[in-house]
């Protein structure tokens, strides 16, 4: 009676080459499965990274948008304000009276009813701290600011009351284009480049774009 052929006897009867081929086939099949799995995982990870990047970009855009809106609101709240520089601090002074005196120097009529409030700002030990004044209306503020050119030749200057962000942007713009090309109008920073109309900049990205288009060294 013949013995049944077992799995072990089948393996034993196989040629070495056949056995190696079988093992290689099994290994290759397993490797393909692992490779396919890793490829799928890699694609999933790449997809997640792209999604996260898109979300990060959107978050940054939203943050920038919110920051811009808040800055606009803050600047709007300063629309009736101006800052006066170059007036020495006096003992027992009344800053409202000083504002009226400066108005007289500029040749415009102004009385205390036009002033909401005024006071010095800056370091206590400064002998020439600027005065910030809030007018009762934008019309009074516009009239006062429009006459500042009449102070030319004196030590007194009048500037708009800017937010921290706009003040920083103004300094950056002046550093590149100089004061003769940069000024502010209603809280908006203007830059004169060439013969074209003044350009408005609201963000550092706007300034970077302007610098690429109109490098300061190319301007006369």
* Ranges of the chain whose pLDDT falls below 50: 5
pLDDT of residue 13: 54
| b/e code 73-102 from CB counts within 10 Å (16+ = b) | eebeebebbbbbeebeeeeeeebbebbbeb
CA–CA gap between residue 81 and residue 137 (Å, rounded): 10
pLDDT of residue 35: 79
pLDDT of residue 11: 52
- Convert the pLDDT of each residue in 116-141 to its tens digit: 999 999 877 677 899 999 999 999 99
pLDDT of residue 107: 96
- Convert the pLDDT of each residue in 147-186 to its tens digit: 999 999 999 999 999 999 999 999 999 999 999 999 999 9
With beta carbons less than 8 A apart as the criterion, state whether 151 and 107 touch.
no
197: left (phi over 0), alpha (psi -120 to 50) or beta: beta
pLDDT of residue 17: 66
pLDDT of residue 196: 83
CA–CA gap between residue 154 and residue 145 (Å, rounded): 16
pLDDT of residue 62: 86
CA–CA gap between residue 144 and residue 138 (Å, rounded): 10
CA–CA gap between residue 163 and residue 92 (Å, rounded): 30
């Amino acid at each position: 009676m013949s013995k049944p052929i077992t799995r072990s006897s089948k393996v034993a009867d196989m040629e070495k080459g056949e056995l190696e081929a079988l093992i290689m086939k099994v290994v290759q099949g397993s490797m393909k499965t692992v490779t396919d799995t890793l490829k799928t995982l890699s694609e999933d990870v790449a997809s997640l990274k792209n999604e996260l990047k898109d979300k990060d970009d959107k978050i940054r855009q939203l943050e920038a948008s919110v920051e811009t809106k808040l800055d606009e609101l803050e600047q709007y709240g300063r629309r009736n304000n101006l800052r006066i520089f170059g007036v020495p601090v006096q003992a027992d002074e009344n800053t409202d009276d000083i504002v009226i005196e400066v108005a007289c120097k500029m040749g415009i009529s102004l009385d205390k009813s036009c002033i909401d409030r005024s006071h010095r700002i800056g370091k206590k030990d400064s002998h020439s701290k600027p005065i910030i004044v809030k007018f009762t209306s934008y019309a009074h503020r516009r009239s006062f600011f429009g006459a500042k050119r009449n102070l030319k030749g004196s030590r007194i200057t009048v500037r708009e009351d800017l937010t921290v962000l706009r003040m920083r942007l103004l300094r950056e713009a002046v550093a590149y284009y100089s004061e003769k090309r940069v000024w502010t109008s209603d809280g908006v920073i203007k830059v004169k480049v060439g013969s074209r109309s003044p350009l408005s900049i609201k963000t550092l990205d706007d300034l970077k774009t302007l610098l690429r288009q109109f490098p300061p060294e190319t301007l006369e």
